[in-house]
Amino acid sequence: MNVTIVDYKSGNISSVINSFKEVTKDKVNVEVTSDLSKIKSSDKVVLPGQGSFKSCVDALSNINGLVDTLNDFAITNKKPLLGICVGLQMFADIGYEETETKGLGWISGKVSKIDSKNGEYKLPHIGWNQINIVKDSKIFKNIDNNSHMYFVHSYEFVPEDKNVISATTDYSSNIVCSVEKENIFGTQFHPEKSDKMGLKIIDNFIKI
């Protein structure tokens, strides 16, 4: 099996790489690349994301053919893809961080700033928070409800279809922190920084 972590210079993704390699113990070929042919031939793709919505979308778009390749992989060929943090947010139609920016449009919705309730809630939302699993998702197999996951974000994904939501977290409001739509999975939290439960989520994705 080949698992490709997409390298589009979104930020330091070493923790993502290390966690996937720790889980697979070299039994799975984990490759970090922006090579389109390797992405196309992969069994599974991971789309990490660090930085702003706009900077990540721009970085994806700056690699010629990458967006089309990801569209083919996830939408046309229906292969499993996991988006992490801004990687999840880019599934949306549009984001409003920095400026209005068009997303990948895989899951209808928008990415908007978390309501700080006039400073009552600090932004970015950083640290451990419980997740409420709201539907039976493949990536939450053997994950206890109310498990703690690690977050770093100021913006939230608001999908139009609430049926895609697989988990939420309570911070200022009920924030979507995980989605599942057919072969497309995403977590707002960082599974690679979420200790044993996070590694279990990675393991579940690899085993899909």
The residues carrying an active-site annotation are 85, 190, 192
- Distance separating alpha carbons of residues 46 and 124, to the nearest angstrom: 24
Tokens 């970085």 sit on residue: 59
Helix (H, G, I), strand (E, B) or coil at 32: strand
Tokens 């989605």 sit on residue: 179
Q: How many CA atoms lie within 13 A of 74 on its CB side?
A: 25
**Where does residue 137 fall: left (phi above 0), alpha (psi -120 to 50 degrees), or beta otherwise?**
beta
Kindly tell me the sign of the dihedral angle through the C-alpha atoms of 83, 88, 93, 97: negative
- Distance separating alpha carbons of residues 23 and 19, to the nearest angstrom: 6
